[in-house]
């Protein structure tokens, strides 16, 4: 489980290092930002590994290291592949939510998006649903603790307010898109995945039995 978390951290750090190479700037801007006007689809994913500053990177990676192992223990014991599938799916779905908000005219200003926060918000939502009474804190204020079921709905409310008032410092639509993905997975995704695994195992046994009879 920890290996999957640190692999994601390593990729994010490596991408940030590439951003620091001046001659790579134009290429990184094309492939590391998601601009709804670009016509590119792969940036829905790749933009989730780009960060605008060292502090942006550090904040997101600290949150990832804090929550990802807990989510893996609660929802994906012994299955880092399932954790990575959710993380990457949330990265895409949060970028897609931001994209749709731009192309459907919900924003007056269309800006390129980047950052891991949409995927992180999915992990927060998953943690909130699976461990609502777990104590969580606010970064840089270690002595202030809340239950997940109290703090995370407040964060959702802040994003809804940001969306309503048109705040642009954070990509509130991407945050909410990630939250919806994590919430959906907590209530439906895990069950659907286990059901699919069971059916695949049944088909595998049926094919094996048919082969032996042949």
Domains of the chain, first to last: 2-213 (1.20.1540.10)
Of the two residues 66 and 144, the one the predictor is more confident about is 66
Q: Which of 9-18, 98-107, 174-183 has the lowest mean pLDDT?
A: 98-107
pLDDT tier at 214, thresholds 50, 70, 90: low
What pLDDT is recorded for position 1? 60
Task: Tell me the per-residue pLDDT of 48-68, one tens digit each, with 9 for 90 and over.
Answer: 999 999 999 999 999 999 989
Q: Which residues are catalytic?
A: 117, 175
Name residues whose C-beta falls within 8 Å of residue 147's C-beta, 6 or more positions apart in sequence: 132, 133, 134, 135, 136
Q: Which of 20-34, 42-56, 146-160 has the lowest mean pLDDT?
A: 146-160
pLDDT at 213 over 90: no
pLDDT tier at 7, thresholds 50, 70, 90: very high
Of the two residues 2 and 36, the one the predictor is more confident about is 36
């Amino acid at each position: 489980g920890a290996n999957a978390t640190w692999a994601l951290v390593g990729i994010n750090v490596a991408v940030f290092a590439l951003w620091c190479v001046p001659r790579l700037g134009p290429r990184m801007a094309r492939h590391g930002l998601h601009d709804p006007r670009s016509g590119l689809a792969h940036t829905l994913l790749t933009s989730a590994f780009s960060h605008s500053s060292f502090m942006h990177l550090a904040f997101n990676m600290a949150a990832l290291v804090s929550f990802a192992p807990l989510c893996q223990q609660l929802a994906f014991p012994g299955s880092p592949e399932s954790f990575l599938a959710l993380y990457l799916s949330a990265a895409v779905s949060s970028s897609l939510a931001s994209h749709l908000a731009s192309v459907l005219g919900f924003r007056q200003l269309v800006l390129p998006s980047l950052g891991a926060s949409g995927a992180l918000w999915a992990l927060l939502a998953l943690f909130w649903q699976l461990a609502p009474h777990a104590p969580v804190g606010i970064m840089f204020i270690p002595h202030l603790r809340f239950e997940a079921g109290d703090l995370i709905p407040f964060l959702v409310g802040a994003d809804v307010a940001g969306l309503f008032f048109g705040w642009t410092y954070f990509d509130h639509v991407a945050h909410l898109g990630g939250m919806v993905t994590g919430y959906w997975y907590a209530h439906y995704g895990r069950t659907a995945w286990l059901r699919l695994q069971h059916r695949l195992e049944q088909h595998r046994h049926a094919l094996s039995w048919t082969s032996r009879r042949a």
